Structure 1
Amino acid sequence: MARSDSSSYFRRSSLFWMMVVTASLSFYTWTVFWPQDVPYSSLGPLGALAKHFVDYHYPVMYYGWFLAWIIHLFEALFALKVCSDKGIDSSSARLLWFAQTFLFGFASLGLLIRYKPDGRPKRQ
């Protein structure tokens, strides 16, 4: 999707990664805030692991949930810096990169980091 005008460059993350991140963070939120409602026995090994963490490491899970969102916020702020460095000046494109990176983390940021605005091929 290389364009000669990189000021409005935006590319959506892979649907696979969007679904993985959404499902993971949703399950994590569920186990942190409503652990009594999770059907652990129906989830196999994942349920057993989640139950163990809820029973024995709940404070780590609770603070880890906030830490995960803080990390996503810093990734999104870094995406804004990368947009500036790569000459993406369109406020709508920058907002899309910020929002997508905040929600999906490195699945989005990786696309932005790999983007070469001058059309040069990527180094392997």
Structure 2
Amino acid sequence: MLTPNSLSIEIERRERMESRQYIRRPHPVLMAVILFLSILEAMLAFTPENVPYSSLGSFGPLFARLVYYHSAFLQNIFFLAVTLNAVTGFAAYRLARSRGIENPARFKWCLHCLLFGVFSLRYLIAFNRTSSTGSTEIV
């Protein structure tokens, strides 16, 4: 039979387990937009002949002009974005470790921040492992 004390201990144990495995993804629409724009940027920088400019609507002529006149700039922007996301992924791994999140979830945080950058990192920054009452809290 569960007593009120044993029930509160069990709830506290589950909350601690959930906080160690905490992972939260960005909104799926935001994830799709970020992936689309990342792939488009890579295509514009490295394979501009494969980009369907006519399918991009009013952005097509703008992107064609950028590719024709500023291809080195597009490549630099791509490498800068990859570098920033790599740094963000490393920071997310370290931050997750300092927040008490265990290894499988820590790796997921690193991967999400590597792919989605600060849009994923903001959830980890807002996560507090325990509040003053001992329960998991998201600010």
TM-score higher than 0.5 here? yes
Runs of 4+ in 1 over 6 A off after TM superposition: none
Equivalent residue of 1:74, what SS? helix
Show the counterpart of 1:105.
117
Q: In 1, are the aligned partners of 2:44 and 2:67 still within 8 Å (CA)?
A: yes
Q: What is the CA deviation profile of residues 45-89 of structure 1, one whole-angstrom value per residue up to 9, with x for unaligned ones?
A: 21122112111111010121111111100000110121122121x
Q: Is the 8 A contact 2:127 2:137 kept in 1?
A: no
- What fraction of aligned residue pairs are identical, expressed as a percent? 30
Q: How does 1:1-124 map to 2 (within 5 A)?
A: 3-5=15-17, 6-88=19-101, 90-118=102-130, 119-120=136-137, 122=139
Worse overlay, 34-43 or 45-54: 34-43
- Aligned counterpart, 2:5: none
- TM-fit CA distance, 1:44: 2.1
Q: TM-score, normalised by structure 1?
A: 0.87
The CA deviation string for residues 20-58 of structure 1, in whole angstroms up to 9 with x for no partner, is 110000111111121112232332221122112111111
RCO higher in 1 or 2 (8 Å CA, sep ≥ 6)? 1
Bigger radius of gyration, 1 or 2? 2
Gaps of 5+ in 1: none
RMSD: 1.8
Alignment size in residue pairs = 120
CA 1:85/1:32 → structure 2, altered by over 3 Å: closer, same or farther? same
